[in-house]
Amino acid sequence: MDDQKKTSRKRRGTLARAEAYFIAHVGEILENKTLRDAVGGTSDSWTRRVRELREKLGYKIRTHLDRPDLKPGQYMLEDLHRVPVVARSINKKLRAFILERNGYTCGSCGIGAGDVHEDGRPARLQIGHVIDASHGGTSDPSNLRALCSLCNEGSSNISPARQSQSQLLAALRRAKPDDQQVAFEWLKKKLGK
Ligand SMILES: [Zn+2]
């Protein structure tokens, strides 16, 4: 067996062990060291496997960046529901097109790229399906939209609730002139002349 084949077989082994370990400990806070002991491999290789579980297989593995109750070096597989992975079929150009078309805001809760969620976490925009792939949705631009990571991963219960029109207008009336100006500029840009 050549070296490349050996490496790839080893990689799949680590990935499968990491997957099985997270599934067996769903909902538990797992320490960096515990995981490394259970999964094996160098710490560099298994952090890459964790990333693959998240990004390629769609497992909701959380870190301190996602949940305020986790400390750096802790992980948690939140539940066994996997997020449909769109990224594979969407190239950079299409991603940029969708973000631009959607004004760099989440199509569900309206948070902007660079804004912070109520709990202080920065909003990360992802590309999500309008109609889920499991229900026949395609990766055609018409079926894609920008979504923040919270909305995309179905955690909309912890994202800001959609405001009613009157609440929104009230908030704007109460806002400082500076902030009203920002809102005005944003609306002008969004709605055209
Ligand atoms: Zn959102």
> Do 12 and 61 belong to one domain?
yes
Q: Flag whether the pTM goes above 0.85.
A: no
End-to-end CA distance of the chain: 65
Check residue 13 and give its pLDDT: 81
Beta bridge partners of 192: none
Tokens (6 digits) for 149: 């990571």
Which of 77, 112, 134 represents a domain boundary (last residue)?
77
* Distance in angstroms (rounded) separating the CA atoms of residues 138 and 161: 28
> Do 141 and 181 belong to one domain?
no
Q: Which CATH number covers residue 36?
A: 1.10.10
Which of 26, 53, 77 represents a domain boundary (last residue)?
77
> Do 42 and 66 belong to one domain?
yes
Check residue 156 and give its pLDDT: 39
Beta bridge partners of 164: none
How much distance in Å is there from the Cα of 111 to the middle of ligand 1?
Answer: 6
Q: Is residue 82 situated within a structural domain?
A: no
For the chain (193 residues), the mean pLDDT of every run of 10, in chain order, is: 67 85 93 84 76 85 85 91 69 89 89 83 85 75 88 54 68 87 86 73
Tokens (6 digits) for 186: 């944003």
How much distance in Å is there from the Cα of 156 to the middle of ligand 1?
Answer: 7
> Do 18 and 70 belong to one domain?
yes
> Do 92 and 142 belong to one domain?
yes
How much distance in Å is there from the Cα of 124 to the middle of ligand 1?
Answer: 9
3-state secondary structure the chain: CCHHHHHHHHHHHHHHHHHHHHHHCCCCCEEHHHHHHHHCCCHHHHHHHHHHHHHCCCCCEECCCCCCCCCCCEEEECCCCCCCCCHHHCCHHHHHHHHHHCCCECCCCCCECCCECCCCCECCEEEEECCCHHHCCCCCHHHEEEEEHHHHCCCHHHCCCCCCHHHHHHHHHHCCHHHHHHHHHHHHHHHCC
Range of the domain at 152: 87-162
Q: How many domains does the chain have?
A: 3
How much distance in Å is there from the Cα of 126 to the middle of ligand 1?
Answer: 10
Q: Is residue 7 situated within a structural domain?
A: yes
How much distance in Å is there from the Cα of 150 to the middle of ligand 1?
Answer: 6
> Do 150 and 169 belong to one domain?
no
